Amino acid sequence: MRVFAIADLHLSYSAPKPMTVFGANWAGHPQLIFERWPEVVGPEDVVLLPGDLSWAMRLPGALEDLSHVAALPGTKVLLRGNHDYWWPAIGKLRQSLPAGMLAIQNDALRIGNLIVSGTRGWVTPGPDSFQDEDRRIYERELERLKLSLESAKRLGAGEVGTRHILMLHYPPTGPNFAPTGFTDLIARAAPDAVVYGHLHGVPVSRSLQHWHSIPTYLVAADGLGFRPKLILEQLPEVGSGA
């Protein structure tokens, strides 16, 4: 089992919304996602989807979009993004998702020896405008990440033979890469990798790539050329002490 990640699919089958209005880097969307995904992902692999999956405003429209993703190879793990307005209560979502799709909200999950945690995140304090409402949401997301990391620990994160990946939709820092509440939690939890999306048109060279030696990957679909990015090459077998 390998682990891939790709965020910001921005699908809109139920109400088409061409993404090329946001720039030439979206040319070929969404067809390229469905062409390139099977080139790299196999049926035994896991694909992390950290947010902004569908432009739909209601769950039925999002499920139409997600059905196309569900038909692709691999087990998919979903996280909410800032544009996923369709996302309902987590219990309802889990009952509605197609087979092979899982979702995280205020918790974590385990697939074999892989543990996945995460939360949406938010803009972080910095020199740019940061309003009282931003602080309220930021602090709420920190609490949600704490809950998720506590769940991950209960599932075995940090134990020999497990691998732990933390998903965010927003990056864990601002553009100046200053420490934040999110990076404090990441440093304490010490996952094997962090993946995030949300940023478009940002070269990898200008994105956060490590935090305290923890690999940190920007996986927005347009920046990946619409091909899921390999995050972990091979997980140890269940029960392995590797």
We report the CATH number of the domain holding residue 128 as: 3.60.21.10
Beta-strand (E) ranges in 20-172?
46-50, 75-79, 101-103, 109-111, 114-119, 163-168
Q: Which domain holds residue 205?
A: 3-232
Domain count for the chain, please give it.
Answer: 1
Pairing of strands 210-211, 214-218: antiparallel
Residue 242: inside a domain, yes or no?
no
Residue 137: inside a domain, yes or no?
yes
Residue 239: inside a domain, yes or no?
no
Tokens 């899921």 locate to 228
Residue 7: inside a domain, yes or no?
yes
pTM of the model: 0.95
Which distant-in-sequence residues (6+ apart) come within 8 Å of 241 by Cβ? 160, 161
Residue 236 pLDDT class (50, 70, 90 cuts):
low
Residue 240: inside a domain, yes or no?
no
Is residue 5 within 8 Å of residue 228, measured between CB atoms? Answer: yes
Tens digit of each residue's pLDDT (9 = 90 or more) over 181-204: 999 999 999 999 999 999 998 887
Tens digit of each residue's pLDDT (9 = 90 or more) over 69-104: 999 999 999 999 999 999 999 999 999 999 999 999
Residue 125: inside a domain, yes or no?
yes
SS3 53: coil
Residue 238: inside a domain, yes or no?
no
SS3 78: strand
Residue 208: inside a domain, yes or no?
yes
